Amino acid sequence: MEDKQEVSKKKATDPKDFTTCEATARMITKARKDGVELAFDRAANMKACPIGADSACCKHCAMGPCRLNAKDPYSKVGVCGATIDTIMSRNFARMVAAGGAAHTDHGMSMLDLFREVVNGNIKDYKIKSPTKLEAVAQSIGIETEGREISDIAMDLYEELERTYTQVEGEIPFAQRVPAKTLETWRKLGIVPRGAMREIMELMHRSHMGVDQDYANITKQCSRTALADGWGGSMVATEISDILYGTPSPVAIEVNMGVLKEDQVNIIVHGHEPNLFESVLESVNEPTLVQAAKDAGAKGINLVGMCCSGAEMLVRHGIPHAGNFMSTEAVLVTGAVDAMVVDVQCIKQALVKVAECYETPLITTNPRCKIEGATHIEFHEHDPKACTDELVIKAIGRFKNRKVPIEIPKIVNSGVHGFSHEYINYMLGGTFRASYTPLNDNIINGRIRGVAGVVGCTNPRVKQDWIHVELVKELIKNDVLVVQTGCSQVALAKAGLTTPEAAHLAGPGLKEVCETVGMPPVLGLGSCVDNSRILIACAEMVKTGGLGDSLADLPVAGCAPEYMSEKAICIGQYFVASGVYTVFGVTFPIVEGTKFHKHLFEELEKQGLGKWGFATDPYEIARLMIAHIDKKRKALGIDKARERTLVDMADRRAMDAA
Ligand code: NFS
Ligand code: SF4
């Protein structure tokens, strides 16, 4: 575990050691000149606590806090007698609970909005995709034939509310889980009832003196995490599609060069699309556009960051300025006339950086106020009251711009917006939309397997570098990569989300990409859109030929630069769903302990997936590919790949002759 804090140890002074994002590196240099501190510098100056990094400490009661020795994990216990396995699994449980709560609370906000739209109490939003509404309703057994959209919608609302509030039974989207996987969950007692109940029970069980059996705690971790992946997050994604439209491929632009010196630049950085959709309306309001022009601007330029940015990117092609580790750096350009935030991943330091560049930092959600920021509360019943006002604030800042502006003129383009529905259509064609071609290409070996590369960026490792190197290595080995969250923005900046990037893929994947005209790296959306990956996997099982359960699929997942508790929860629901999931940076567990063995080995034997850990991108790729090959072998399709690749070489030789 020596390589855990590469950056902080070095006290790196060269911004290139902090990031491979050229624009961010330039802004780090500028910030230093301007005397402004960023998270990169704070990470270098704040050595991560090694006991905490190993999760070997407990502060669940006032007899402690207790610190155990990670080097000799069984030499000590806490004052209450808690062993290292209990302490680590309880800490892990609390991360799962917090991460799951974040996604499910977001999903519940979406559902609140949906209910009010269906009731007719909210008029500023409407059901944009009745087709998606019907498809989701049908997927959980709601009758749609010959019925009014509003009636179907009301039934759907009532069903989906159970995702959160149900005290007994199974959450509605459990019906989408392949039968054999569901059977395994039932046997283990981990089918979620309702998210509120699971999170509550997990908090209870990780309290001092309750569940002190790491394997039993892990079960409730799985149940809670599944209530996120197949519950809260999936509801967030599906309702967003119903209200705002299902993504389909769209040409996009990313990086700081999307800011325009001669326009009013507004950045929305957050997670709930409700706010962003309404800001989009406001910036197109003729009176506000005129006001911007009167202030001397060419127009209003709306740009996203982080996850709601990723959603607007895939859904509407709204430009994206950068991922999590660029949110402070983008303010250093001096070009941001307002940064608007809602919930999650919003660094408190943004207040100070924004102040240095006279940018209004505006909080909008009652759940997330930040000392020193301007709060303009957003209400779905009257969304424009907030979003018009913040646009006016931005115009005001533009008019009175005093700080010098320096925008790194870097813009990368790509194609994003590959919903699981679209993957269907893209590979299957209009008349035979299905996952059959994807499965066929996996079975015949052109595509070796599918990898989800997702998650955050983290100043403890070089920004974007691991994401990009890992993905390059995967596609080179014919692994099709699907992406969400901050990771997809890293790859978009690296230019890998264009169809032309197919030349970086191995011969099999390259052939498929060229035939279909798709990039080898598919951007799906925000972190809650990881649920799209679950649905795609379920479709692959249903389509046939790749086993009966999710655990049979030749797939793997990874969050190589993760930082948030949400990422841990996502990791746990992928593992519980049957996917091998590798994390980087640091893993909050001591190696060689029983709990470690449980997560990294034993869960797989129960028919679930398992965790993996590595910090080096090539090592991560090796682990993921080895797992994919293991699954191919178990399915009896390992030989096909050799044949296909030989065929192709033969064919090329023939072409050349
Ligand atoms: Ni996901 Fe989105 Fe980014 Fe990480 Fe944060 S923005 S929900 S948690 S940092 S990927
Ligand atoms: Fe220490 Fe046990 Fe209290 Fe944790 S719960 S702080 S291990 S005494």
| Rounded Cα–Cα distance for residues 524 and 518 (Å) | 13
> Cα 12–16–17 angle (5° rounding)?
40
Instruction: Give pLDDT tens digits for 372-417.
Output: 999 999 999 999 999 999 999 999 999 999 999 999 999 999 999 8
Ligand 1 atom closest to the Cα of residue 103 is: 7
- The torsion angle over the Cα atoms of residues 593, 597, 598 and 602, rounded to 10 degrees, is -160
Instruction: Give pLDDT tens digits for 330-385.
Output: 999 999 999 999 999 999 999 999 999 999 999 999 999 999 999 999 999 999 99
Ligand 2 atom closest to the Cα of residue 64 is: 6
Tell me, using a 6 A CB cutoff, whether residue 456 lines ligand 1. yes
Q: Relative to the alpha carbon of 585, which ligand is closest?
A: 1
pLDDT of residue 10: 47
> Which whole number is the average pLDDT over 455-460?
96
| Rounded Cα–Cα distance for residues 453 and 184 (Å) | 26
Instruction: Give pLDDT tens digits for 616-647.
Output: 999 999 999 999 999 999 999 998 887 777 66
| Rounded Cα–Cα distance for residues 75 and 82 (Å) | 12
Ligand 1 atom closest to the Cα of residue 457 is: 9
| Rounded Cα–Cα distance for residues 497 and 487 (Å) | 12
pLDDT of residue 430: 55
Q: Which amino acid is at 206?
A: S
| Rounded Cα–Cα distance for residues 439 and 435 (Å) | 6
pLDDT of residue 403: 95
Tell me, using a 6 A CB cutoff, whether residue 60 lines ligand 2. yes
Q: Which residue, by CA, sits nearest to atom 2 of ligand 2?
A: 80
| Rounded Cα–Cα distance for residues 87 and 76 (Å) | 12
The tokens of 458 are what?
């983290």
> Which whole number is the average pLDDT over 55-62?
96
| Rounded Cα–Cα distance for residues 643 and 357 (Å) | 60
How far, in Å, is the centroid of ligand 1 from the Cα of 484?
A: 9
How far, in Å, is the centroid of ligand 1 from the Cα of 550?
A: 25
Ligand 1 atom closest to the Cα of residue 307 is: 2
Asked if residue 654 has pLDDT above 60, the reply is: no
Tell me, using a 6 A CB cutoff, whether residue 78 lines ligand 2. yes
The tokens of 249 are what?
């491929």
Taking all residues of the chain, what is their mean pLDDT, rounded to a whole number?
94
Asked if residue 437 has pLDDT above 90, the reply is: no
Among 83, 86, 87, the mutation site with the greatest number of ligand 2 atoms within 8 A of its Cβ is 87
How far, in Å, is the centroid of ligand 2 from the Cα of 60?
A: 6
User: What angle, rounded to 10 degrees, do the helices at 149-165 and 195-205 form?
Assistant: 10
Give Cα separations from 416 to 58, 197, 306 (angstroms). 43, 36, 15
Tell me, using a 6 A CB cutoff, whether residue 63 lines ligand 2. yes
> Which whole number is the average pLDDT over 284-298?
97
Asked if residue 118 has pLDDT above 90, the reply is: yes
Judged on CB neighbours under 10 Å (0-12, 13-18, 19+), 321 is buried
DSSP at 19 = B
Of the candidates 252, 386, 231, 379, the one whose C-alpha atom is nearest the C-alpha of residue 312 is 252
Asked if residue 82 has pLDDT above 70, the reply is: yes
DSSP at 365 = B
Task: Work out whether the CA dihedral 29, 34, 40, 42 comes out positive or negative.
Answer: positive
| Rounded Cα–Cα distance for residues 329 and 161 (Å) | 39
The pTM of this model reads 0.95
How far, in Å, is the centroid of ligand 2 from the Cα of 52?
A: 14
Place of tokens 């909050």: 588
Q: Which residue, by CA, sits nearest to atom 6 of ligand 2?
A: 64
Q: Which residue, by CA, sits nearest to atom 1 of ligand 1?
A: 527
Asked if residue 552 has pLDDT above 50, the reply is: yes
Q: What percent of the chain has pLDDT over 70?
A: 95
Contacts of 544 (CB under 8 A, 6+ apart): 439
Tell me, using a 6 A CB cutoff, whether residue 307 lines ligand 1. yes
How far, in Å, is the centroid of ligand 2 from the Cα of 67?
A: 9
Q: Relative to the alpha carbon of 486, which ligand is closest?
A: 1
Extended strands (E) in 189-293: 250-254, 264-269
pLDDT of residue 589: 95
Indicate the SS3 state at residue 81: coil
Among 61, 86, 88, the mutation site with the greatest number of ligand 2 atoms within 8 A of its Cβ is 61
Tell me, using a 6 A CB cutoff, whether residue 306 lines ligand 1. yes
pLDDT of residue 509: 95
Tell me, using a 6 A CB cutoff, whether residue 527 lines ligand 1. yes
pLDDT of residue 632: 97
Tell me, using a 6 A CB cutoff, whether residue 208 lines ligand 2. yes
pLDDT of residue 650: 64
pLDDT of residue 8: 46
How many other CB atoms sit within 10 Å of the CB of residue 464?
25
How far, in Å, is the centroid of ligand 1 from the Cα of 73?
A: 32
> Which whole number is the average pLDDT over 90-95?
98
Ligand 2 atom closest to the Cα of residue 81 is: 2
Q: Relative to the alpha carbon of 61, which ligand is closest?
A: 2
Asked if residue 306 has pLDDT above 60, the reply is: yes
- The torsion angle over the Cα atoms of residues 383, 384, 388 and 390, rounded to 10 degrees, is -10
The tokens of 407 are what?
């925008």
How far, in Å, is the centroid of ligand 2 from the Cα of 529?
A: 37
Among 325, 467, 486, the mutation site with the greatest number of ligand 1 atoms within 8 A of its Cβ is 486
How far, in Å, is the centroid of ligand 1 from the Cα of 413?
A: 21
pLDDT of residue 388: 97
Spell out the domains of the chain, with CATH numbers in brackets: 70-244 (1.20.1270.30), 256-399 (3.40.50.2030), 422-637 (3.40.50.2030)
pLDDT of residue 493: 97
pLDDT of residue 506: 96
Instruction: Give pLDDT tens digits for 199-256.
Output: 999 999 999 999 999 999 999 999 999 999 999 999 999 999 999 999 989 999 999 9
The tokens of 475 are what?
């596609």
Q: What percent of the chain has pLDDT over 90?
A: 90
pLDDT of residue 2: 42
- The number of angstroms, rounded, from the C-alpha of 123 to the middle of its chain's C-alpha atoms is 30
How far, in Å, is the centroid of ligand 1 from the Cα of 599?
A: 23
Higher pLDDT, 653 or 396: 396
Q: Which residue, by CA, sits nearest to atom 9 of ligand 1?
A: 456
Tell me, using a 6 A CB cutoff, whether residue 617 lines ligand 1. no
> Which whole number is the average pLDDT over 596-613?
98
Ligand 2 atom closest to the Cα of residue 78 is: 7
> Which whole number is the average pLDDT over 295-321?
94
Of the candidates 641, 572, 577, the one whose C-alpha atom is nearest the C-alpha of residue 608 is 577
> Cα 93–97–102 angle (5° rounding)?
150
pLDDT of residue 420: 82
Tell me, using a 6 A CB cutoff, whether residue 320 lines ligand 1. no
Ligand 2 atom closest to the Cα of residue 61 is: 3
Contacts of 551 (CB under 8 A, 6+ apart): 181, 184, 578, 579, 604, 607, 608, 609
| Rounded Cα–Cα distance for residues 419 and 422 (Å) | 5
| Rounded Cα–Cα distance for residues 554 and 558 (Å) | 14
How far, in Å, is the centroid of ligand 1 from the Cα of 457?
A: 8
Tell me, using a 6 A CB cutoff, whether residue 484 lines ligand 1. no
| Rounded Cα–Cα distance for residues 600 and 489 (Å) | 29
Tell me, using a 6 A CB cutoff, whether residue 68 lines ligand 2. no
Q: Relative to the alpha carbon of 526, which ligand is closest?
A: 1
Cα distance between the two ends of the chain: 53
Tell me, using a 6 A CB cutoff, whether residue 59 lines ligand 2. yes
How far, in Å, is the centroid of ligand 2 from the Cα of 334?
A: 48
Higher pLDDT, 154 or 517: 154
Among 327, 532, 564, the mutation site with the greatest number of ligand 1 atoms within 8 A of its Cβ is 564
- The number of angstroms, rounded, from the C-alpha of 547 to the middle of its chain's C-alpha atoms is 27
How far, in Å, is the centroid of ligand 2 from the Cα of 96?
A: 20
| Rounded Cα–Cα distance for residues 167 and 171 (Å) | 10
